Amino acid sequence: MKADSDLFEFLLRMGDNTLVLGHRVSEWCGHSPVLEEDIALANVALDLIGQTRMWLDFAGDVEGKGRDADALAFRRDVWDFRNILLVERPNGNFGDTLMRQFLFDAWYHAILSRLAGSSDDRIAAIAAKAVKEAAYHLERSADLVVRLGDGTTESHAKMQAALDDFWPYTGEMFAADTIDTSLTSRGVIPNLAEVRDEWDETVNRVLADATLEIPDGTYQHKGGKQGTHTEHLGHILTEMQFLQRAYPDASW
Amino acid sequence: MMQKHKPSTEQIREWLDAVPDPEIPVISLVDLGVIRDIEWQGDRLRVTVTPTYSGCPATGIINLDIETALRDRGIRNIEIVKTLSPAWTTDWISEKGREKMLAYGVVPPQTGTACTSNSPAPEVKCPRCNSENTKLVSQFGSTPCKSSYCCKECLEPFDYFKCI
């Protein structure tokens, strides 16, 4: 059924975003500048991966082919992933990671708070749970973007460079395709333009406090939501999927 | 037959009130507010559990501990069901649980203040010297549910069970 395949695609987009970003953030474990930040990053990664299980288990149920969250996470190749390109960008320095996190958190919190009122009960339940966790993520990443942006000359320069680097990857979050518009008309997901309004408001306010300037360019990368990825995703999957590829069905 | 009669759900709740939370063992699973429903469906006991945080690694242990505790009481036919809605909130932590948590050195969450990104920082008193002169070190502490604080009077670091 067409309607189900739209829902399946949307759930993959949500689950793949949290899975890939969760994995990226977990790469910091043991490498952060200070212990508290190491713990915070690991906790954020844990929340995101926990949410991935809820999104991808639901995706598997909608698909109806017996795939659960593990099967979807570990046994799909790059072209079957539906995450936005922003979340597969490499971690860079600590400021890069925080800027990527902030741009994502501002979107994720805005869409989750609306998905909590979805016409689909299970999406509403997942979103109502996840939005409470995302509120803490956004509070933290926004706070650090301001501290580092409005910090020393060096930290300011690094945060501006991070913003310039990631900005062309933000448009994809709001670029509605036929899957999005169909689900919006069914009341399953919000209108992405509304999500953009809230995101703009949050991002403009925080970046102004951080004394950072939004870059001029209008070019925006896209394709991740439809399965066209950058080279980085393959490298992530190589590491993340190794065990299930080498030892299929291995369990803890 | 393992039992002559089915224990009441009140009795079962009492048994589960003796099962410690894996992370903060001074409080029980009932104190934590994760046991949402206990119901007999014929000969099968159905326990409905809600996770605290989405990614909390204790969730699997909690289910195992529930099953073990009930089996020890002679209940064999157990179904543990996960529910997401309504989402768990720290407001469900019992008064008894909050007192025990504080005595253990973890400051309990403030009731009715589930976090929003714009909520003001709560006033958190030091669990050791009771001073209000404390500082938030990080929103994310030793587990996802706690944030790290430091007392500026007695200089002790401590955990605050944050509102969600």
From chain A residues 94-153, the ones with a CB under 8 A of any chain B CB are: 109, 121-122, 124-126, 128-130, 132-133, 135-136, 138-140, 142
From chain A residues 7-36, the ones with a CB under 8 A of any chain B CB are: 36
Q: What is the pLDDT of residue B93?
A: 94
Q: Do A51 and B55 form a contact (C-beta atoms < 8 A)?
A: yes
Which class for A248: exposed (0-12), middle (13-18), buried (19 or more C-beta within 10 A)? exposed
Q: Is the dihedral angle over the CA atoms B106, B107, B111, B113 positive or is it negative?
A: negative
Q: What is the pLDDT of residue A98?
A: 98
Query: What is the least distance, in Å, from the CA of A148 to any CA of chain B?
Result: 16
């501006």: which residue's tokens? Answer: A160
Q: What is the pLDDT of residue B95?
A: 94
Cα A242 → chain centroid: 22
Q: What is the pLDDT of residue B108?
A: 93
CB atoms within 10 A of CB B18: 10
Per-position DSSP letters for chain B, written without gaps between them: ---SSPPPHHHHHHHHTTSBPSSSTTSBHHHHT-EEEEEEETTEEEEEE--SSTT-THHHHHHHHHHHHHHHTT---EEEEE--SSPP-GGGS-HHHHHHHHHHTEEPPPTT----TTPPPP----TTT--S-EEEEESS-SSTTEEEEEETTT--EEEEE---
Contacts of A121 in chain B (CB under 8 A): 85
**pLDDT confidence bin for B138, thresholds 50/70/90:** confident
Looking at per-residue confidence, does A198 or B141 come out higher?
A: A198
Count of all residues that appear for chain B in the document:
164
- Contact across the interface for B137 and A36, Cβ inside 8 Å: yes
Convert the pLDDT of each residue in B16-71 to its tens digit. Answer: 999 999 989 999 999 999 999 999 999 999 999 999 999 888 888 999 999 999 99
Contacts of B138 in chain A (CB under 8 A): 36-37, 39-40
The Cα A189–Cα A10 span in angstroms is 9
**pLDDT confidence bin for B117, thresholds 50/70/90:** very low
Quote the mean pLDDT of chain A. 96
The Cα A24–Cα A90 span in angstroms is 7
Lowest mean pLDDT among A88-97, A223-232, B107-116, B149-158: B107-116
Looking at per-residue confidence, does A135 or B4 come out higher?
A: A135
Is the pLDDT at A2 greater than 60, yes or no?
Answer: no
Quote the mean pLDDT of chain B. 90
Which class for A250: exposed (0-12), middle (13-18), buried (19 or more C-beta within 10 A)? exposed
Instruction: Write the CA distances from B71 to B32, B61, B74, B77, integer angstroms.
Output: 21, 15, 5, 9
Copy the structure tokens of residue B115.
């976090």
Contacts of A39 in chain B (CB under 8 A): 138, 140-142, 148
Average pLDDT over residues A2-21: 92
Q: What is the pLDDT of residue A25?
A: 98
A54: nearest CB among B54, B138, B144 = B54
Convert the pLDDT of each residue in A115-158 to its tens digit. Answer: 999 999 999 999 999 999 999 999 999 999 999 999 999 999 99
A135: nearest CB among B54, B86, B115 = B115
Contacts of A125 in chain B (CB under 8 A): 84-85, 87
Strands B78-82 and B106-107: unpaired
Convert the pLDDT of each residue in B118-134 to its tens digit. Answer: 556 678 999 999 999 99
The Cα A78–Cα A236 span in angstroms is 10
At A244, is the secondary structure helix, strand, or coil?
helix
- Domains plus CATH for chain A? 5-210+222-246 (1.20.1260.10)
Q: Do B160 and B107 form a contact (C-beta atoms < 8 A)?
A: yes
What phi and psi values does residue B39 have, to the nearest 5 degrees?
-150, 135
Q: Do A41 and A29 form a contact (C-beta atoms < 8 A)?
A: yes
Q: Which residue of B has its CA nearest to A41?
A: B140
The Cα B126–Cα A179 span in angstroms is 51
- Contact across the interface for B54 and A139, Cβ inside 8 Å: no
Average pLDDT over residues A168-180: 97
Which percentage of chain B shows pLDDT scores above 70?
Answer: 91
Q: What is the pLDDT of residue B112?
A: 64
CB atoms within 10 A of CB A172: 19
Q: What is the pLDDT of residue A224?
A: 97
Q: What is the pLDDT of residue A22?
A: 98
Average pLDDT over residues A99-112: 98
**pLDDT confidence bin for B144, thresholds 50/70/90:** confident
Is the pLDDT at B114 greater than 80, yes or no?
Answer: no
Which percentage of chain B shows pLDDT scores above 90?
Answer: 73
Q: What is the pLDDT of residue B121?
A: 66
Query: What is the least distance, in Å, from the CA of A238 to any CA of chain B?
Result: 23
Q: What is the pLDDT of residue A55?
A: 98
